[in-house]
Amino acid sequence: MIRRAGLCGQRGIEHTYTVDQETGWRTAVWYCRRHEDWGNALRAQRAANPGPEPIPNAGGLVVSYLMVDGQEQAWARLYRDAAAWKRDGQWEPPKNYGLRADDWPVSGRELVPEPVRLRLATVDGELIQP
């Protein structure tokens, strides 16, 4: 087991995490035996206010280019199956942001309109659905 330095520089014995209230991202915080009360207080504070759902910061690019309308469930199942062997198998799609990286806000930037998706059209102008 890796023991990291706590906030005071001493060898950390336990860890918890802080939550950025703007992005929902978690940051690990290690603490030493002397600061154990502080760590327990941080854990209790996080239990009372878990923070917002994290803004996704990885994945979603393939879906931006290949997803056809109505395939959200199929992509979610594919991602869940792929994550099962790599992580703890508890992956769920972001509830508020969707699977496509184009739909995710970027921390510190304004939301931009949805980019134009390319479609194939016939000579008479009819759109061909992929």
Instruction: For the chain, 130 residues long, give each residue's pLDDT as a single digit of tens.
Output: 556 777 777 888 888 888 888 888 888 888 888 888 988 999 998 889 888 888 777 666 677 667 666 677 777 777 777 766 665 666 677 777 777 777 777 776 665 566 666 667 777 767 666 5
Check residue 104 and give its pLDDT. 77
* CB contact burial 44-63 (16+ within 10 A = b; e otherwise): eeeeeeeeeeebbeeebeeb
pTM: 0.56
Cα-based distances in Å from 112 to 41, 106, 109, 120: 39, 10, 9, 24
Check residue 115 and give its pLDDT. 66
Check residue 113 and give its pLDDT. 61
Check residue 72 and give its pLDDT. 73
Cα–Cα dist 42/59, whole Å: 30
Q: How far apart are the first and last CA of the chain?
A: 50
**What are the structural domain ranges in the chain?**
1-54, 61-128
